[in-house]
Chain A
Amino acid sequence: MLGYAGTILYVDLTTGKTRTEKLSDDVAKKYVGGIGLGMKLYLSNSKAGVDPLSAENPLVLAVGPVSGTMFPTGGNGHAFISKSPETNGVGEAVSHGTFGAELKRAGYDAVIFTGKAEKPVYLWLDDDAAQILDASQIWGKSSGETEDAIKNEIGDYYVRVASIGLAGEKLSKISSIFNEKTRAAGRTGLGAVMGSKNLKAIAVRGTRDIAVAKPDEFITMVKEFHERMKGPAAQKYRTLGTSENIMVQNQLSCLPTRNFNNAHFDNAQKVSAEALNERYITKIIACNSCAMRCEHEAVIREGTYKGTQARMEFDSVWALGPNCGVDKLDAIIKAAELCNYYGLDATSAGVTVSFVMDCHEKGILTHEDLGGLDAHFGNADALVQLIEKIGKREGIGDMLADGVKIASEKIGKNSSQLAQQIKGLEVTGYDLRCLKTAALASAVSFRGADQNRSGAYTIDLKGKVDRLKAEKGRGKLVKDAEDTYSLIDSLIICKNAKGTLYNELSDMAKLYRLVTGYEMTSEELTVAGERINNLAKLINVREGKSRIDDTLPWKVLNQPITDDGPAKGAVVTQEELDLLLDDYYQARGWNVEGIPTKAKLKELGLEEFSSIIEGKEA
């Protein structure tokens, strides 16, 4: 078995016992790796209806077949999969860095954590040797501090660590799992799942060789991708970075501003990628094996926030900036640093702050409710203070630390209309009212509101379709985009490198063949992508989700864009959403309730899970 390590590690945190199982060829080929393999292992090792923060909910960590090789961006990823405490459906999040490569070199394709440790612990994987060690001394520390402390304790500075911060320990449902200080498996609240298991960190040292099936052809392919990464496909990432989209979207009036009260931010220039790079970006660094380095490191050298340092991307700039009406970059960078420090998903945290500001301006949360905080839109100090409170679960932060859906349920007073979330997961920085392919994709996304399950916004932004129109045909576009993204997250290639896959599926199939030696055609890989999406859907169906959950935030459905410009008046009506959903389910071969049919499961080789749809598929 090449590419794959061939081993799955089971860690029972209740008993402290570990065991390994072989990864079968069949499972490897069917589910590829990463989120595909992880969701398969999750489904086969869990029961329906468990509390996501209980000992009964397993947490899966998985790498892909190319992890540990030098395929640019492909060598360095890892994925966490579980039931999300935010969505109560499938939770998954991918991160990059070096951790994934190290885990592969230690000899594992996946690690499954079950049960709950009595006291705070961390897992130390030293190749074959798996030990559960005491973490009481590092409990309470940030991920960065944890990493340093573990390296010191073990006495090896090349050990790689993934860990949670204070937010994960305190079971914040918007907490993430961080690795190498700046990288995060950010979304769906998996930090809280780790926290609920008293699992502070996973530290790995892997010393094995990674060999590929066809080394000479593989190296030639790597060289070709290095060349592609010097070209236009990677230019944005190499130069201004992902935050370039701030201005691009602002011009198209699809930059959600002040919690979706606007779709255009008048002060966008002040938080643009140009401003960020000019004043704060000090260094651009790379993940392991990557030839198109994109990680923009911002440093604040003077003023109130002197000494602040954070990695900045479109998502964090948007969520903490325009989305909160904040135009002060130094405060945005400080807020992002605090998210890293406490271990919060910066997107969800930013959307939570914008929700509070919206509630405050509409009189739903008073000055007193907020402990004296003047949380109007644009108040940069309030932004920083709210993130701090959420990170520590302090004061109002306690109620907010589980994201906007739960907060709005506690607040009542129709505040749910201001909660920008789908399936419980906070939205990302794309105004879905005027990006209707993206609106469909967000509604059906198995992990909840997110652009990273399909990247469908690019279909709208690039003008391949009329972005303001809901029409038949979008279902197929979204389905295909989702299947491709699921493969990217299963091989684990970076989505920022998607543009360098000139021939998406045939490039991926070739990579898979050269690394693993298994025959795999583009067509077979396409089916694997569809299989992985159906698998995710099966987890959601098992947890009771159906068409009613494939919906959009209240504002997207009810409050048209008011800004003058290309998107004025845009909204997604329920009729439009229904049309799009029908079209999508049809393209997927699912019934009108969005449930996969028996025939579809048979076609995809997922019969073993057909009991899940029993009685629901008619």
Chain B
Amino acid sequence: MVKVHERKFVSADPEKCVGCQICEYTCSFTKEKAFNPLKSRIRVVRVNQLANMAVTCRLCEAPACVAACPRDALTQSEDTGNIVLDKDKCNGCGWCIEACDYGAIMLHPETKVVYVCDMCKDKADGPQCVKWCPEEAITVVTSDVLAQKARIGAIKKLFQEPEEKK
């Protein structure tokens, strides 16, 4: 069993993300052999030209989607932290969708059950969006690594020469 804070998930860096949606195409092609953003487990948001970000499941420590499901169709894998769906139990009610703060779990347009990132568990080289992102904006991280990065960034800024600060 993996310790919770070592759980790996896919995260995009908004500084690097350019909103190209290649991750969406990659995901839908990998999972469904079709180019269709509506079938992608990762979705791109462009709030305005300056704010671009790809969003997918963060494998939360206390996943609200799992808690919200009245039919116990969703569970979290103890091994990987992945959100796992029991298709037979899901009736597409959408409570998990409402519960997720990130819009990371969605209703599939054809199967009518929910779907969510599974970290490309069947792929030897891991999440395909990470592999394809031309900006290297998407990486597999742990919450520890995110905290480390934030920490290093903050300290770097602290020790910057005044004129470099912008």
Chain A interface residues (CB < 8 Å from chain B): 68-70, 72, 75, 98, 105, 158, 181-182, 207-212, 215, 219, 226, 229-230, 282-293, 295, 297, 299, 309, 311
Q: In B12-62, which residues have CB < 8 Å from any A CB?
A: 18-22, 25-26, 28-29, 32-39, 46, 48-50, 52
Residues of B within 8 A of A72 (CB): 22
Residues of B within 8 A of A70 (CB): 22, 25-26, 29, 35
Chain B interface residues (CB < 8 Å from chain A): 18-22, 25-26, 28-29, 32-39, 46, 48-50, 52, 109, 132, 134-135
Query: Chain A's nearest CB lies how many Å from the CB of B55?
Result: 13
Query: Chain A's nearest CB lies how many Å from the CB of B19?
Result: 5
CA distance A284 to B17 in the complex (A): 9
State which of A98, A215, A284 has its C-beta within 8 Å of the C-beta of B18.
A284
Chain B residue, CB-CB nearest to A229:
B134
Contact B22 A219 (CB under 8 A): no
Q: Given A210-B35, A230-B134, are A289 and B25 also a contact pair (CB < 8 Å)?
A: yes
Chain A residue, CB-CB nearest to B30:
A219
Contact B49 A69 (CB under 8 A): no
Q: Given A69-B35, A207-B38, A210-B36, are A286 and B19 also a contact pair (CB < 8 Å)?
A: yes
Contact A285 B34 (CB under 8 A): no
Residues of A within 8 A of B50 (CB): 282-283, 297, 299, 309
Contact B21 A211 (CB under 8 A): no
Q: Given A70-B26, A289-B25, are A208 and B36 also a contact pair (CB < 8 Å)?
A: yes
- CB-CB nearest 8 A-B residue pairs: A209-B34, A70-B25, A286-B20, A291-B134, A210-B35, A286-B18, A293-B18, A209-B36
A sample of 16 inter-chain contacts (CB < 8 A) reads A69-B35, A70-B25, A70-B29, A70-B35, A158-B37, A207-B38, A209-B39, A210-B36, A226-B134, A283-B49, A283-B52, A286-B19, A290-B20, A291-B134, A297-B49, A311-B49
> What secondary structure prevails in chain A residues at the interface with B?
loop
Contact B34 A210 (CB under 8 A): yes
Query: Chain B's nearest CB lies how many Å from the CB of A101?
Result: 9
Residues of A within 8 A of B135 (CB): 293
Q: Given A68-B35, A293-B135, are A285 and B18 also a contact pair (CB < 8 Å)?
A: yes
Chain B residue, CB-CB nearest to A211:
B34
Residues of B within 8 A of A289 (CB): 20-22, 25
CA distance A61 to B7 in the complex (A): 48
CA distance A75 to B26 in the complex (A): 13
Chain A residue, CB-CB nearest to B39:
A209
Residues of A within 8 A of B134 (CB): 226, 229-230, 291-293
Query: Chain B's nearest CB lies how many Å from the CB of A183?
Result: 10
Residues of A within 8 A of B26 (CB): 70
Residues of B within 8 A of A293 (CB): 18, 20, 134-135
Contact A309 B34 (CB under 8 A): no
CA distance A552 to B132 in the complex (A): 47
Contact B20 A287 (CB under 8 A): yes
CA distance A311 to B25 in the complex (A): 25
Query: Chain B's nearest CB lies how many Å from the CB of A159?
Result: 13
CA distance A208 to B22 in the complex (A): 17
Contact B22 A285 (CB under 8 A): no
Query: Chain B's nearest CB lies how many Å from the CB of A289?
Result: 6
Residues of B within 8 A of A158 (CB): 37
Query: Chain A's nearest CB lies how many Å from the CB of B134?
Result: 4
Query: Chain B's nearest CB lies how many Å from the CB of A120?
Result: 26
Query: Which of B29, B35, B46, B132 has the largest count of A CB atoms less than 10 A from its CB?
Result: B35
Query: Chain A's nearest CB lies how many Å from the CB of B107?
Result: 12
Query: Chain A's nearest CB lies how many Å from the CB of B37?
Result: 8
